[in-house]
A = this chain, B = another copy of it.
Amino acid sequence: MNIDLNSDLGESFGPWPMGQDGALMDSITSANVACGFHAGDPGVMRATIALAREKGVAIGAHPGFQDLVGFGRREIKASPSEVEDLVLYQVSALAGMAAAQGAALQHVKAHGALYNMACRDRALADAIARAVAAFDRSLILFGLPGSELLRAGEAAGLAVAAEVFADRAYDPDGSLTARSKPGSVIHDTQKVVERAIKMVRDQKVIAVDGSTIALRADTICLHGDTPGAADHARAVRAGLEHAGIKIANLRMP
């Protein structure tokens, strides 16, 4: 039994630091690296790639909308063609910077509003899948289980990875409970570990109404931008390993 642990990293920009990349990389196996449109700059990207290589973490591109001030979290009504171009641009930029350090990308995970929109809008999902497939057919595309984004990836002939959130509540239909609702985020590390184990072992999660729902779990997202994120990640990893689950990126045998 294997699981990948991923986190969004390289989100500093110019003079502004963000996150605890170094500490987080001790626990995760896949890093989603910002590509300069919603966060990250060429210097930050170079340093994040170097850190991932040093820590043995697989590198993925984390392309987002061109919206620094909104951190790529605001939906922008971009056309599929615009989305295809901006994903291809950002994936290319990161891949080239990684290649210059002797590293190849493992995966692509869209960021923030772009990810959410593409999970439910097939035209945008297809645009992302087209960009990734045109650049490198061996890249793994991340998306929510059952989402349009995963379907588009498969239709484009890409390997896909279903991403789950052990610290987020799920509605009975398998979608994430809106952050605005009470209890939508689970802060108790022990509870998060238990949910993570169930997700990996049973490919199931208990929804907010107590019902059990099936969901494919290839990779668990660990948030890196909260206080205590590194400690939390370490505990989740230790809990999974203690339960006999192997933590490995998606390319490891």
A157 part of interface (Cβ distance < 8 Å): no
Which residues on the B side are within 8 Å of A22 (C-beta)?
Answer: none
Which single member of B12, B43, B78 contacts A82 (CB below 8 Å)?
B43
In angstroms, Cα B76 to Cα A66, docked, is 11
Number of interface residues of A (CB under 8 A): 46
Is A70 within 8 A of B81, CB to CB? Answer: no
Known contacts A68-B68, A93-B92; A134/B100 CB under 8 A: yes
Find residues 69-92 in chain A having any chain B CB closer than 8 Å to their own CB: 69-71, 74-78, 81-82, 85-86, 88-92
Is B85 within 8 A of A14, CB to CB? Answer: no
Is B100 within 8 A of A135, CB to CB? Answer: yes
Which single member of B76, B85, B134 contacts A70 (CB below 8 Å)?
B76
Instruction: Give 9 closest A-B pairs by Cβ, nearest first.
Output: A92-B96, A16-B16, A42-B85, A100-B134, A42-B89, A14-B69, A15-B71, A93-B93, A75-B77
